[in-house]
């Protein structure tokens, strides 16, 4: 989802860009990663590869760690050997989600899930191996036209269900992958110092509030979206009550903030409506969008 939008944004910006899907390169294969960088000789690598099945990671932590942790370490090692800079995409899940204030880049990472621990391992590997050329960009609540995600699921459920129940006690920042792609490019152009940056939409909302906004944009009655609590719809991996990220390092680098989430959603909506339907059974959305 992010990778495809990033390749498109880089192409529009005039960069010579190569996008490698999983079928082209498995980041868990260290030799293959080194060979790919020797072949393509990039100046900058953006690692969008990730195990994103948050609930499945609770039972398959080693597999998640192989991609999110060891895979990131392999990419970092190959970048160190080749002299390329690396942007590692990370997640709000490295935090516990038990505060009501935005998380700063300098706050202690205390993940509560297998997925979060694996993402944190990837961050640490990148920063340890590439202290002068490694960037960690944490983001949250991604949606876009090229994969299953909460926004596209709600668009589909509005057509299929008379009402839906959506969690109203988890706060976060819905972030359009096109905006994030543009932000990553802007960060690299800014010559910002290496380190950790938070890149997510401005403002915040609950899943329930986001679903009601989607219904409104569809011209549907937002009252068809009903609020529930996390306790009413538990999942194997605990969801953070607050995923709001602060953007102090981003601002200090002089990079334009990502748009407010409502504005971004309105801009994204035509592309989302035109996108092909996501495959059925998106398990990672089960907590946030329950059919009524």
In this predicted structure, what is the pLDDT of residue 277? 55
Three-state DSSP class for residue 167? strand
Mean pLDDT of 7-16: 94
Which CATH number characterizes residue 162's domain?
Answer: 3.40.50.720
Q: What integer best gives the mean pLDDT of the chain?
A: 94
Q: In this structure, are residues 61 and 118 in contact, taking their beta carbons and an 8 Å threshold?
A: yes
Specify the DSSP element, H or E, that contains 2.
helix 2-12
pLDDT, average across residues 141-149: 95
pLDDT in tens, 96-118: 999 889 999 999 999 999 999 99
Q: pLDDT for 17-75, tens place per residue?
A: 999 999 999 999 999 999 999 999 999 999 999 999 999 999 999 999 999 999 999 99
Q: What is the mean pLDDT of residues 252-281?
A: 87
- Phi and psi at 290, nearest 5°, equal -105, 125
Active site residues: 115
Q: Give the pLDDT band of residue 230 (cuts 50, 70, 90).
A: very high
Q: What is the pLDDT of residue 281?
A: 40
Mean pLDDT score, 216-221? 98
Res 287 pLDDT > 80: no
Tokens standing for 56?
């499945």
- Using alpha carbons, select from 120, 59, 63, 131 the residue that is nearest to residue 91: 120
The SS3 assignment for 123 reads helix
- With cut-offs at 50, 70 and 90, classify the pLDDT of residue 197: very high
Query: Range of 251's domain?
Result: 2-291
Q: Total domain count for the chain?
A: 1
Q: What are phi and psi of 74, to 5 degrees?
A: -65, -45
Q: Is a pLDDT exceeding 70 seen at residue 279?
A: no
pTM score of the predicted model: 0.93
């Amino acid at each position: 989802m992010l990778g495809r939008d990033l390749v498109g944004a880089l192409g529009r910006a005039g960069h010579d860009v190569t996008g490698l899907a999983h079928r082209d390169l498995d980041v868990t294969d260290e030799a293959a990663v080194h060979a790919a960088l020797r072949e393509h000789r990039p100046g900058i690598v953006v690692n969008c590869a990730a195990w994103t099945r948050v609930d499945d990671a609770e039972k398959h932590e080693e597999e998640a760690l192989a991609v999110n942790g060891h895979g990131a370490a392999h990419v970092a090692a190959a970048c160190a050997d080749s002299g390329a800079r690396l942007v590692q995409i990370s997640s709000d899940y490295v935090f516990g989600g038990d505060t009501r204030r935005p998380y700063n880049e300098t706050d202690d990472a205390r993940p509560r899930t297998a997925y979060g621990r694996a993402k944190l391992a990837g961050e640490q590997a990148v920063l340890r191996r590439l202290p002068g050329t490694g960037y960690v960009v944490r983001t949250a609540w991604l949606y876009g036209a090229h994969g299953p995600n909460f926004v596209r699921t709600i668009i589909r459920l509005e057509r299929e269900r008379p009402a839906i129940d959506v969690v109203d006690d988890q706060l976060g920042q819905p972030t359009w992958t096109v905006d994030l792609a543009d932000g990553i490019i802007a960060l690299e152009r800014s010559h910002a110092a290496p380190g950790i940056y938070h890149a997510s939409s401005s403002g915040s909302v609950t899943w329930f509030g986001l679903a009601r906004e989607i219904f409104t944009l569809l011209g549907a009655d937002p009252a068809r979206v009903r609020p529930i609590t996390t306790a009413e719809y538990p999942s194997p991996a605990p969801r953070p009550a607050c995923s709001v990220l602060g953007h102090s390092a981003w601002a200090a680098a002089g990079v334009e903030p990502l748009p407010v989430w409502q504005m971004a959603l309105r801009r994204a909506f035509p592309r989302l409506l035109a996108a092909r339907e996501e495959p059925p059974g998106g398990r990672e959305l089960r907590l946030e969008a329950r059919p009524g």
